[in-house]
């Protein structure tokens, strides 16, 4: 549906159901839409008709009519520019010229100066921000991060609160140019709700710097908490679910708005290219997939042992686990651990040590004197097997 519906439906859900509801709403609220509310309404009628026209020439005519009725209808300008441009390079060059002139007009015009800082509050200024965002995305997608950064900073100057997509593209663009100081300043000064987009980009930034363990924790914990689809796609190249979701028919315009945690939100993020060499992510994914396979190759006793030891370490927040404690758990003598899978399972000490030695040889445990240390990869394996079990891809016995 029309862009403006998506913007205002967010805050006027009870009043706006479709385009027919929008037209009288504009006329009734000149304080929001300006004195020329009627002209704006007619302009968007023409724009909407152009959006729903299959014939390209008819669509162009409708968009031109929309611009004639309201020269500041940047939604119409964006669509017309896309139809008249031969390629993305031409769209970006012409679009940047239009955007620059539009910015000068708004920032130098007394009528619009009161809206600087809250540009999404009026139809006209909101359409300019949407036009700027489409340009910013275009420059980011083509790897021209510096221009994307300039556009992003301009957009945040015009409206800091509502420009969430601009903040995310700006973050990824700063990562793309490798400006560590600017990235750290961005993270330090970020005062908004940290969502899946933020944590996904932060995780990828850490990965690009070689901090793979820290990257995994950010993606697997923080990013997953907000959108598991984005986390799985980055961690395990598991994009089947979100691609499958994208093929479902959209029944109304509200379905097109990606809500937090939805597959559509994940599509929006994962459709953007990485701001660095994708081979880094491929190696990262291969490492995590290898952990799946490593754990699936373990016997039941070994699997249960690793799960138990990981659970003890996570709950106790300790690095080293005394062998005496582990033996007591196996023998059923440590009542505080009776919920663990290995509790009371094995009585003979030589069998317990045999399992510990096998896991050490498989590079999941490290012996340090009278204690053992779980390697980070074992934590990864533990989290992986839990996810596989939740998806029904392994049996309870394996898990």
Residue 27 has what pLDDT? Answer: 52
What are the CA-CA distances from residue 83 to residues 67, 77, 78, 80, 324 (Å)? Answer: 15, 10, 9, 5, 73
Q: What are phi and psi of 35, to 5 degrees?
A: -65, -30
Other CB atoms within 10 Å distance of the CB of residue 277: 9
Given a contact cutoff of 8 angstroms between Cβ atoms, the answer to whether 152 and 169 are in contact is: yes
- Cβ atoms of 145 and 138 within 8 Å: the answer is no
Q: CB neighbours of 183 closer than 8 A, spacing ≥ 6?
A: 171, 174, 175, 205
The DSSP code sequence of 77-139 is HHHHHHHH-SSHHHHHHHHHHHHHHHHHHHHH-TTTGGGTBBGGGSHHHHHHHHHHHHHHHHH
Angle between helices 145-158 and 123-141 in degrees, nearest 10 = 160
Asked whether the beta carbons of 82 and 90 are under 8 A apart, the reply is no
Residue 5 is predicted with a pLDDT of 41
SS3 375: coil
Instruction: Return phi, psi of residue 173, to 5°.
Output: -70, -40
- CA dist list (Å): 395 to 274, 384, 389: 35, 14, 7
Count Cα atoms within 13 angstroms, Cβ side, for 125.
26
For residues 263 and 246, the answer to whether their CB atoms sit within 8 Å is: yes
- pLDDT number for residue 4: 42
pLDDT at 24: 54
Long-range CB pairs of 105-110 (<8 Å, 24+ gap) are 105/72, 106/158
Which of 86, 110, 76, 82 is closest to 95 using CA atoms?
A: 82
User: 129, 160, 132: which is closest to 7 by C-alpha?
Assistant: 129
Of how many residues is the chain composed?
399
pTM over 0.85: no
What pLDDT digit, counting tens, does each position of 43-56 carry? 888 888 888 888 99
Mean pLDDT in each 10-residue stretch from start to end of the chain (399 residues)?
42 51 52 47 85 90 91 90 87 90 86 82 81 92 93 89 85 92 91 89 91 88 88 80 66 63 83 85 79 65 74 68 83 80 78 82 78 66 55 46
CA count, 13 A, side-chain hemisphere, 335: 0
Taking the C-alpha atoms of residue 173 and residue 220, their distance in angstroms, rounded to an integer, is 23
pLDDT at 281: 86
CB–CB of 214/208 below 8 Å? no
**Burial degree of 14 (CB within 10 A; 0-12, 13-18, 19+):** exposed
Give residues with Cβ within 8 angstroms of 159, minimum separation 6.
117, 118, 119, 120, 129
């Amino acid at each position: 549906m029309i862009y403006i519906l998506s913007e205002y439906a967010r805050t006027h859900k009870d009043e706006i159901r479709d385009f027919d509801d929008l037209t009288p709403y504009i006329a009734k609220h000149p304080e929001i839409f300006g004195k020329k509310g009627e002209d704006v309404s007619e302009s968007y009628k023409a724009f909407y008709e152009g959006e729903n026209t299959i014939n390209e020439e008819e669509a162009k005519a409708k968009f031109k009519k929309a611009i004639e009725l309201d020269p500041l209808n940047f939604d119409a300008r964006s669509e017309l520019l896309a139809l008249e441009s031969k390629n993305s390079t031409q769209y970006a060059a012409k679009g940047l010229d239009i955007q620059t002139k539009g910015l000068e007009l708004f920032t130098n015009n007394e009528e619009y100066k009161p809206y600087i800082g809250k540009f999404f509050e009026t139809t006209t200024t909101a359409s300019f921000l949407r036009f700027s965002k489409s340009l910013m995305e275009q420059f980011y997608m083509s790897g021209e991060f510096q221009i994307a950064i300039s556009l992003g900073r301009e957009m945040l100057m015009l409206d800091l609160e509502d420009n969430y997509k601009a903040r995310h593209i700006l973050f990824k663009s700063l990562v793309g140019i490798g400006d560590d100081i600017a990235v750290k300043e961005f993270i330090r000064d970020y005062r908004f709700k940290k969502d899946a987009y933020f944590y996904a980009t932060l995780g990828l930034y850490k990965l690009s710097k070689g901090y793979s363990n820290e990257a995994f924790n950010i993606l697997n914990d923080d990013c997953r908490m907000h959108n598991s689809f984005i986390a799985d796609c980055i961690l395990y190249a598991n994009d089947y679910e979100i691609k499958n979701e994208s093929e479902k028919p959209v029944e109304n315009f509200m379905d097109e708005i990606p809500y937090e945690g939805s597959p559509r939100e994940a599509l929006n993020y994962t459709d953007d290219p990485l701001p660095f060499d994708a081979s880094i992510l491929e190696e990262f994914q291969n490492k995590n997939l290898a952990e799946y396979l490593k754990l699936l190759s373990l016997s039941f006793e070994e699997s249960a042992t690793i799960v138990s030891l990981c659970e003890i370490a996570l709950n106790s927040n300790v690095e080293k686990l005394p062998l005496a404690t582990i033996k007591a758990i196996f023998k059923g003598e440590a009542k505080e651990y009776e919920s663990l899978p290995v509790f009371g399972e094995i009585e003979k000490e030589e069998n317990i040590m045999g399992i510990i030695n096998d896991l050490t040889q498989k590079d999941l445990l490290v012996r340090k004197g009278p204690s053992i240390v779980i390697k980070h990869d074992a934590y990864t394996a533990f989290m992986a097997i839990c996810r596989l079990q939740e998806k029904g891809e392994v049996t309870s016995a394996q898990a």
